[in-house]
Chains A and B, each alone.
Chain A
Amino acid sequence: MPYLGGEETVRELRRALSNPNVQSDQLRYRNTILKVIRAMSQGVDMSGLFSEMVKACATVDVVQKKLVYVFLCSYAALNPELSLLVINTLRKDCQDPNPMVRSLALRNMTNLRLPSLVEYVEQPLAAGLRDRAACVRRVAVLGWAKLHNLQASSEIDAAVVNELYSLLRDPDPVVMVNCLRALEEILKDEGGVAINKPITHHLLNRLKECDIWGQCQVLRVLQRYRPQSEDELFDILSLLDASLVSPHPPIMAATLSLFLSLCSGQPAVSLAALERVRGPLLAACGSGSREMRFTALCHIQLLLRSIPGLMGAHYKRFFCGYAEPAYIKQRKMQVLVELVNDENVAMLLDELKGYCTDVNAETAQAAITAIGRIGRSYSDRCLEILTGLLGLKQDHITSAVVQTMRDLVWVCPQCSDTVCFALEGCEETLQDSQGRQALLWLLGVYGERVSSAPYTLEVFIDGVRSEASLGVKMELLTATMRLFLCRPAETQDMLGRLLHYCIEEETDMCVRDQALLYYRLLHCGIEETRKVLQGRRSDPSLGVLIGRPAEPVSQWARSFNTLEPLRQGSIETDGALNRLKQ
């Protein structure tokens, strides 16, 4: 960051700004001010130049005015007294014959954000609301919102609020939308603008005149409206029908959101709306820009929770191109998992298998997890693929496969044979702690069927001193105990060593306490130990993939068209799975 010569620059610029030769030459003056703004953008502190900039404000050159205002708005909070000097110029400008100058002055007066200036600003703002030029009115309306923001505690005069309400009928649509926005902010404590029938109908009639942003705003605000009769509801829906299939994704999303909130009492209509929107959503998924594709994908995930079959025929659209960014691939894979059925399972699994060897480790792991989830319904095929992947002997792949197998076995205990067979020999390639924990759990629970289990555990126990991960140590303790219960002869010795180490030498309290617990359990007798340690091994009720009941739309309707879907990592939280295993 160019902090070099900050002081020097400020001094130089001050000299230039106060130089009368510079001041008389419009171009030079403007260029000097440009330098100030540029330096300010880069983070250099230019607040020392405040008084010079205030003087520069009184000029006829509108561009220069704008630059000076940018500066002043950034630093006004630090210099409240000097800012008062600017107010006079601003107030004069508010009465300039040129509406551009008027709107500029009004906008910047409110951008200054100084509580002390509020009294000077109110009068021009009130006049601005009645100005004959639309651009001035737009600025004035938002100006009141800014004023309220500045002093949230002070009440905005009721007369102003009434005037804002009446301006909802202004011929200029941007003024109308700005009024909506301003009223939303000012009346936030009361729940925003009061949406009643006449206002709703008025807004809907003028929806077509607004630009994209205006339409989005109107549609968002209308979500609070409750139609009074079914006829009215259907009238509104047919009016909005064209927007539902708009080529602009934001409008389509906002309309759908509105539909869903209006039809919350009529699930059939909501579902019909979702069907309509399928085409435009698919088009957005294929749009040229990545960000829109990503947003569309996240929203489709939400929709699929209610209508799993919505995209069934189009599953091929969600195949990932090689060059697509990782975040899009991962979301596409999550969608693909939702779309699996008997006909396309072979093809889908083939595709996913290809992604498992992706260059990006996270994508590969996501693909493997996806295969695991499909495995709940189609365990044989998936296990075949997973076992094949183990043969590649690559760390991140093996780790993901072992974790997936662990999750799979929990839900489908019938797969345990295949899994046990596959586990032989994969401990060499496992490096990360997650994978090792998964392996240890599997060895502990199914130890009697894996012939090499005691030897694998012995390797771990011998290396426990240098083991860094807490989770691995805990899992190792539990696994060794479980194995001891079914193969006592082979494991007795190493169990003893492990317990000795954990109780005597281990510094971490959790491990030590766990070991002490097991030691005391053993003293109580084998039966007691068996009762505690050999709990549930599986929970098939956690659900197959297909045949999951569709969620009602109302569950996710509120988070549609907001940032919520983009934040979610995945639909199902596997956290529930992990908690049950301990």
Chain B
Amino acid sequence: MIGGLFIYNHKGEVLISRVYRDDIGRNAVDAFRVNVIHARQQVRSPVTNIARTSFFHVKRSNIWLAAVTKQNVNAAMVFEFLYKMCDVMTAYFGKISEENIKNNFVLIYELLDEILDFGYPQNSETGALKTFITQQGIKGQVSKTKEQSQITSQVTGQIGWRREGIKYRRNELFLDVLESVNLLMSPQGQVLSAHVSGRVVMKSYLSGMPECKFGMNDKIVIDKQGKGGASDDAGKSDLGGGSGKQSIAIDDCTFHQCVRLSKFDSERSISFIPPDGEYELMRYRTTKDIILPFRVIPLVREVGRTKLEVKVVIKSNFKPSLLAQKIEVRIPTPLNTSGVQVICMKGKAKYKASENAIVWKIKRMAGMKESQISAEIELLPTNDKKKWARPPISMNFEVPFAPSGLKVRYLKVFESKLNYSDHDVIKWVRYIGRSGIYETRC
């Protein structure tokens, strides 16, 4: 299993080092630094093999986390563990940066002790860890037996993901539909490949052991209900007032372990008893009928050998009442650029020589609108016969709807034993669609 865990800063200095098994020596720390961090070429692969030892690494901002092993392990598991480690650290002290690590030195060593024993991952759930490793050190000895038994029952109860006897004054639940839309578009405007990968994250603060049923505009369900589709209780969850006829065809989806898969297979209904707090309910992927929030139309004209005229129009393709935010368009420029003149009516555009790109930032943009930027790029005359292969124009943005077209139709809560009903529960839904790899070739 994992023989050692090291954390370095961007200079290659060791911030944390912990060795779990004897087959990893102190020189492993240096080997990684020399061969990966200070290697002259770009990072080759997230797994590096040096002298029969494998180094897995993950980079977060400019901090390197490396796991070392000499055995033939399950690669996906090691990476998952490193991500979990990052999640736990973030849950405790926020962003992973050199300063935060140095300030929470003690905490990290405690965590490393608890999470990995002899190189095997042990308990890594943030919730459970937070009960007995806190910033101030271990809690007093008085309440530990009760917590201990609670933690044990949480794990060994019939329903392992939710313990009995949870009580809240206000019963609320929050649904976040987080999607990432990826697009590759050809210069002629044809979609080469587009897909959306999304997750539904639920934060539930409900008392007792409630049964929940989650409904969305899944194509198969709607087809079953027939054309005279029952107008289901819309409530707050039906954003944009779309009719129930809009449905999405999900390519495949995977669920949290609490969802009863047998019911899903037979009637395509998602019913479950939710864990308390925040967790990921389902993950899905669609490739058909994707609403592409932005259409980028580039126009590049070469004037002689010393000038390049670029005009880029972006059109927003969603309801006028919605606002997209944090829009950033990167237009790549040739390497021999000497100067750039940029004109744009909306937002701010700057030429960044170090990145060889014009970066155009628009704070927000409503739907069904158009914005344009024109730039004149002056080139240094060059003898280079190389033709500049135009890299694609890439975009980043955030939109308040799901580009896949997914809409939450309902989330019903039934709790028979306690006296609150579905109407007493306060429900919130929010859709966040982000750009993943959104490129238009030009």
Contact = CB atoms under 8 A, between A and B. Distances in A.
Interface in A377-417: 392-394
A149 B110 CA distance: 24
A209 B251 contact: no
Given A42-B14, A100-B132, A142 B120 contact: yes
Given A282-B285, A289-B83, A213 B148 contact: no
Interface in A73-121: 74, 97-100, 104, 107, 113
Nearest to B115: A213
Interface residues of A, number: 95
Contacts of B414: none
A393 B123 CA distance: 58
Interface in A163-207: 171-174, 178, 181
B118 A289 contact: no
Contacts of B123: 174, 211
Given A34-B106, A172-B152, A566-B47, A249 B80 contact: yes
Given A63-B106, A283-B285, A289 B195 contact: no
A292 B56 CA distance: 12
A473 interface: no
Interface stretch (B71-79, B315-323, B415-423): B71-79
A298 B285 CA distance: 20
A561 B13 CA distance: 32
Contacts of B379: none
Interface stretch (B37-45, B300-308, B345-353, B424-432): B37-45
Contact of B386 (A67, A351, A392): A392
Contacts of A357: 389
B174 interface: no
A321 B437 contact: yes
B95 interface: no
B254 A246 contact: yes
Nearest to A113: B22
B387 interface: yes
Given A63-B138, A98-B141, A393 B45 contact: no
A142 B21 CA distance: 12
Contact of A248 (B54, B80, B182, B387): B80
**Interface size class, chain B:** 35 or more
B119 to A, nearest CB: 9
A298 B79 CA distance: 14
B378 interface: no
A100 B138 contact: yes
Interface of A: 1-2, 34, 37-38, 41-43, 61-63, 66-67, 70, 74, 97-100, 104, 107, 113, 133-135, 138-139, 142, 145-146, 149, 171-174, 178, 181, 208-209, 211-213, 216-217, 220, 242, 245-250, 253-254, 279-280, 282-284, 286-292, 294-296, 298, 316-317, 319, 321-327, 351, 354, 357-360, 392-394, 561-564, 566-567
Interface of B: 1, 13-19, 21-22, 29, 42-47, 49, 54, 56, 58, 72-77, 79-84, 105-106, 109-110, 113, 117-118, 120-125, 132, 137-138, 141, 144-145, 148, 152, 155-156, 160, 180, 182, 184, 192-193, 195, 197, 251-252, 254-257, 261, 280, 282-283, 285, 385-387, 389, 391-392, 394, 436-437, 439, 441
7 contacts: A63-B106, A99-B144, A100-B144, A294-B45, A324-B437, A327-B46, A393-B385
